């Protein structure tokens, strides 16, 4: 049995170093606290809303920010994915009521008139493409009045996003990654922060498990068909062959990021969508054009 690197107890987790339960929790929380401090992600004066899915990552962020800063709100988007989202929302509701955290739930059905499930029954599109756009839209409008949106993105997610954008040649989009994003001058855009930026997914899973958050470890049924899943599997194989690969991707990307930001700053002129008024680089934002095309086929036909 491998021993903890901080004491003589048996280790329960060994991602970067072996730790017992107590030392792992200390190590993990210190890493998140250092990320928040080092990148000035959140200050005491911030009014923070946490984008929550009811999964391990966002619940960990919600727990830690509530513990350290208090005065936090949880924001959940209900896309309408039967058998998945209703389960994670139930876990989130229970977690929030146990910890006395206000929870705001915004659904596709209320906002757009159709659920993701209804839309997918009518049109053949990759669900993650719709969700990427529509979720972002609802997070942005749902976070109005708050000064920061915190998300549960971990090191694995970020390494995937970096590689996906590199594979697609989307350097302009890659320039929008990093632990703190969206410091645009637009008052309608709330900056996003990622407190778990340097935490491996396995570490977050272990932390959420050891802390007994009372959440079930579910995966979105659509995630397996995405390009992200292919990149995730590729990076996982690489990590096995060469441990430290994911961390290297993220750390080296951070060295490149100032150059990418410099090159792409100001290249996208911020306008406002003619339909919803949200920040957009086109006349009509991507969310509104998606909704218009989906509504025409997905919504029940109105009877007159
Ligand atoms: Zn120990
Ligand atoms: Zn719009």
- CA-nearest of 66, 56, 58, 68 to 30 is 68
Mean pLDDT of 39-44: 94
pLDDT of residue 304: 45
- Output 190 or 129, whichever has higher pLDDT: 190
Distance 150 CA to ligand 2 centre (A): 23
Q: Contact 251/162 with Cβ under 8 angstroms?
A: no
- Output 212 or 293, whichever has higher pLDDT: 212
- Residues 261-279 have pLDDT tens digits of 888 876 556 788 898 888 8
pTM beyond 0.75: yes
Sorting pLDDT into bands at 50, 70 and 90, what band is 130? confident
Structure tokens at 137: 């839209």
- Output 293 or 236, whichever has higher pLDDT: 236
Helical packing angle, 227-241 and 245-264, nearest 10°:
130
Q: How far apart are CA 227 and CA 145, in angstroms?
A: 34
- Residues 6-31 have pLDDT tens digits of 999 999 999 889 999 999 999 999 99
Whether the predicted pLDDT of 84 surpasses 90: no
Distance 5 CA to ligand 2 centre (A): 52
Distance 275 CA to ligand 2 centre (A): 5
- Residues 157-214 have pLDDT tens digits of 999 999 999 999 888 888 889 999 876 667 778 899 999 999 999 999 999 999 999 8
Distance 274 CA to ligand 2 centre (A): 7
Distance 57 CA to ligand 1 centre (A): 24
Sorting pLDDT into bands at 50, 70 and 90, what band is 303? very low
Q: DSSP code of 279? A: E
Pairing verdict, β 180-181 and 192-193: antiparallel
Q: How far apart are CA 116 and CA 83, in angstroms?
A: 13
Distance 6 CA to ligand 1 centre (A): 4
Whether the predicted pLDDT of 125 surpasses 80: no
Mean pLDDT of 94-122: 89
- Which ligand has its closest atom nearest to the C-alpha of 275? 2
**Among 65-69, 97-101, 114-118, 239-243, the least confident range:** 114-118
Domains of the chain, earliest start first: 34-289 (3.40.50.620)
Whether the predicted pLDDT of 57 surpasses 90: yes
Query: Three-class SS string for 172-201?
Result: HHHCCCCCEECCCCCCCCCCEECCCCCCCH
pLDDT of residue 183: 62
Sorting pLDDT into bands at 50, 70 and 90, what band is 247? very high
Residue in this structure with the two tokens 């929030």, named with its chain if needed: 96
């Amino acid at each position: 049995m491998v021993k903890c690197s901080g004491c003589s107890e048996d280790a329960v987790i060994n991602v970067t170093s072996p730790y017992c339960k107590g030392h792992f929790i200390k190590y993990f929380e210190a890493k998140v606290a250092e990320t928040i401090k080092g990148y000035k992600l959140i200050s005491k004066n911030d009014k923070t809303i946490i984008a929550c899915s009811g999964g391990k990552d966002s619940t960990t962020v919600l727990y830690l920010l509530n513990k350290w800063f208090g005065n936090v709100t949880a924001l959940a988007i209900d896309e309408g994915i039967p058998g998945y989202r209703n389960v994670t929302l139930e876990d989130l509701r229970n977690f929030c009521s146990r910890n006395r955290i206000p929870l705001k739930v915004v659904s596709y059905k209320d906002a757009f008139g159709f659920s993701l499930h209804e839309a997918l029954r009518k049109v053949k599109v990759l669900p993650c493409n719709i969700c990427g756009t529509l979720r972002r839209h609802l997070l942005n409008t749902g976070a109005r009045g708050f000064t920061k949106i915190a998300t549960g993105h971990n090191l694995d997610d970020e390494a995937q996003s970096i590689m996906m954008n590199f594979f697609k040649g989307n350097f302009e989009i890659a320039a929008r990654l990093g632990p703190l994003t969206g410091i645009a001058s637009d008052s309608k855009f709330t900056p996003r922060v990622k407190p778990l930026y340097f935490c491996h997914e396995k570490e977050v899973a272990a932390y959420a498990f050891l802390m007994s958050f009372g959440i079930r470890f579910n995966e979105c049924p659509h995630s397996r068909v995405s390009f992200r899943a292919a990149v995730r599997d590729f990076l996982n194989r690489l990590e096995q062959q060469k441990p430290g690969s994911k961390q290297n991707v993220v750390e080296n990307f951070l060295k490149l990021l100032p150059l990418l930001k410099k090159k792409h700053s100001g290249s996208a002129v911020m306008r406002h969508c003619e339909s919803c008024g949200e920040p957009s680089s086109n006349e009509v934002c991507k969310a509104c054009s998606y909704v218009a095309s989906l509504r025409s086929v997905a919504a029940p036909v109105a009877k007159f």
